[in-house]
Structure 1
Amino acid sequence: MAASLAAKVHYLDITGEIDVFEHASSLDGEARQANILLCPGVGFDVIPTDCLALALKQALPDATSLCLGFESHSLKSPGTAKTTVEGIGQGTKIRREATIRTEPMGVRARRIDFGQGERLAVAFPWGDVSTAYKTTGIPSITVYVAVTSSFRLAMLAANLLAPILRLPLVRRRMLASAGTAVGPDTEARREAPTYLWGEVRNESGEVRTARIRTANGYDVTIHGALAVLRHIMEMRDFDPGFTTPALLCGASLIEELPGSGKIKIR
């Protein structure tokens, strides 16, 4: 981002890390002075969930609580696997009263129907904990991911083993193992779509729920990044500074990508 600010060119990336989004947000003033956009997260994290967040905010403007989540059975690429390893033992993240907080992994759980029946899901440190606050202004945000009961138990165990898992030697070995992961090929991606869900509530107890089925996360990343890039190349006017994919391109962005359905809100 420093290079983009110095060169006065727009910045995009496909990160999903909360710290990166928070750093971009802290550079909003500098980006405005440079008359550029800082828009990290133009991949699967966070385009689909960001679009759901904006659509739900539009459906219930006075919402005070936002939950998002997804279910995916896709294999992980080496890069995704390494990012997962780097987060082991670090806990999960939620937002409460506009502040990002850390909680033990696997403790906050609920059952969610992402579109194929109820699944066990746990709070996960997904990028929307940062970006959805920019997109919606909603002060309470939690992101969930569907997991098996055994995986949740592994998360809970990792909390107890966190001091060991953070040791340099242990982390190096886990990262080396993650580097051998084989990501999904074209056929595997086609057979593993993603189901996304979102829910908002206001202080009166009103609830709105949204769902959408999209292509595999890796395909969403490819087509999503290109769609945002195309939007930037074609735009004439823009508000410089830190932004998110949905704020930049609209909540319908995810619906326009290959393999996506329509956002359905109830």
Structure 2
Amino acid sequence: MTPRVLLYGATGYSGRLIAEEAARRWGNMASPTRSAQLVLGARNATELGRLCRKLKLEGLELALDNRTTVVRALSGFQLVINAAGPFALTAERLAKSALDARCHYVDITGETDVYRRLDDLGFIAYQRRLVVVCGAGEVSAASDVLVDGALQELKRKGNLNPSEVGAIRIAVPRLEAQSRGSARTAIRWVREQVPVARASSADPKQPYARLQHVPIGQLERSFDFGGKKGRCIASGVALIDVMSAMRTARRREVVARTIEVYMAMNAVERSSYQWAAIASPWLNLPLPLRWSEMLADQLPEGPSPRERERDRHTVLLEIEDARLQTVIDWQLDTPNCYDFTARSVVAVAKRILCATADEIDASLRGWRTPAELLDAQALLEASPNDEMPYPFTDSSLTRRKG
């Protein structure tokens, strides 16, 4: 039987890109055979109908207000993809309903507080033999695969003992063009401190790093992004990559003393970022908060196809040993982060759908990071002349060290 997949938030900017990618990969109602039956879901019936006609896909008008109604609507699906932001309002509702309906759940959130709340659902998913993957898009999917591949590579070469990782650092450039949803997420950054992972050598019973928070502006570091971007100063930011890297390091039985995530910013942006953090108590008041959201609403819905084609994305990974010597310095260049997100989500969903019940029971059920569904080894083993494996098509991996 062809598995049924609901893409909720299909009429949003990222949702439409995911819908188009999934229709290309899986087929639509006009296809003689379909590897998965994709159904588009949204609250707005008019926009949903227009998109369904364009892509020749079925639609489901659905609000998340009533949990019983949502569970009933999801009962015929094997997997739910959530692309409906703001995820603070949709993720927990939809994830809990999906688990009640015995559906696997995948989303593209980049919001750290949402990630931590959904983390609590991992045990429920495990008991029900379901898979939950939070943050399956760029940047977290790409960085998680890099971290997983790098740790495996170091252990394979004998360059790594569990106690020898001093730091894992992930860095990304600023987005030249971003969607309204990304802008709203960035506004939330200045209302939160920066999450980092720190391990305490004073507690041998708890060797793995724990999540801590540092003030905005405290973490700054220089990274070489190569090409025209060159070396840039980057500031620590609140991205979920810290938490996915923590899980991946622990799964690989590697104790990392420090895990941090950075974003490149120019001098004006860093000053504005730090000023906004200082003013965050005032910015959190209803009137300033509404004003900042109105500014985000004035942005274009998202970058144009030409802007996406021009604005390729980069993820840097640096790993230091306990002596603070760099043992990994990798650069992954991917298509625009919105295009990569669509591919990554489709690849993660397909991997879950293709897994047998025994495979899910043995290694996939419960809370999983993207690296557990995407093949890091295939990425690392591809030669420069080979086509990179999906979803890393049109990407390139540069290993400056390691």
The verdict on a shared fold, with TM-score over 0.5 as the criterion, is yes
**Aligned-residue RMSD, C-alpha:** 1.8
Which of 279, 283, 287 is equivalent to 1:165?
283
Aligned partner of residue 282 in structure 2, secondary structure: helix
Q: Would the alpha carbon gap of residues 23 and 252 (structure 1) be closer, same or farther in structure 2, given more than 3 Å must change?
A: farther
How far apart in 2 are the matches of 1:21 and 1:159?
Answer: 21
Which of 292, 296, 305 is equivalent to 1:178?
296
How far apart in 1 are the matches of 2:397 and 2:315?
Answer: 11
Structure 1 unpaired stretches of 5+: none
Q: Does 1:45 align with 2:139?
A: yes
Moved over 4 A (4+): 252-255
User: Displacement, 1:171?
Assistant: 0.3
How far apart in 2 are the matches of 1:197 and 1:90?
Answer: 24
How far apart in 2 are the matches of 1:75 and 1:108?
Answer: 24
2:320 maps to 201
Q: Residues 197 and 209 of structure 1 are in contact (CA less than 8 Å); yes or no, is this contact kept in structure 2?
A: yes
Q: Would the alpha carbon gap of residues 252 and 73 (structure 1) be closer, same or farther in structure 2, given more than 3 Å must change?
A: farther
Q: Residues 11 and 39 of structure 1 are in contact (CA less than 8 Å); yes or no, is this contact kept in structure 2?
A: yes
Which residue identity does 1:153 align to in structure 2?
S
Q: Residues 72 and 192 of structure 1 are in contact (CA less than 8 Å); yes or no, is this contact kept in structure 2?
A: no
How many residues align? The count is 266
User: Displacement, 1:134?
Assistant: 0.8
Q: Residues 65 and 141 of structure 1 are in contact (CA less than 8 Å); yes or no, is this contact kept in structure 2?
A: yes
1:36 maps to 130
TM-score normalised by structure 2 residue count: 0.63
1:100 maps to 211
Q: Residues 14 and 45 of structure 1 are in contact (CA less than 8 Å); yes or no, is this contact kept in structure 2?
A: no
Among the aligned pairs, what percent are the same residue? 26
How far apart in 1 are the matches of 2:142 and 2:378?
Answer: 8
1:232 maps to 352
Which residue identity does 2:314 align to in structure 1?
Y
User: Displacement, 1:242?
Assistant: 0.4
Which residue identity does 2:243 align to in structure 1?
S
Q: Does 1:215 align with 2:304?
A: no
1:244 maps to 369
Q: Residues 192 and 238 of structure 2 are in contact (CA less than 8 Å); yes or no, is this contact kept in structure 1?
A: no
1:120 maps to 233
Aligned partner of residue 125 in structure 1, secondary structure: coil
Aligned partner of residue 176 in structure 1, secondary structure: helix
Which residue identity does 1:45 align to in structure 2?
V
Q: Residues 131 and 352 of structure 2 are in contact (CA less than 8 Å); yes or no, is this contact kept in structure 1?
A: no
How far apart in 2 are the matches of 1:24 and 1:263?
Answer: 34
1:261 maps to 396
Higher relative contact order (CA 8 A, sep 6+): 1
Structure 2 unpaired stretches of 5+: 1-94, 155-159, 200-208, 251-255, 380-387
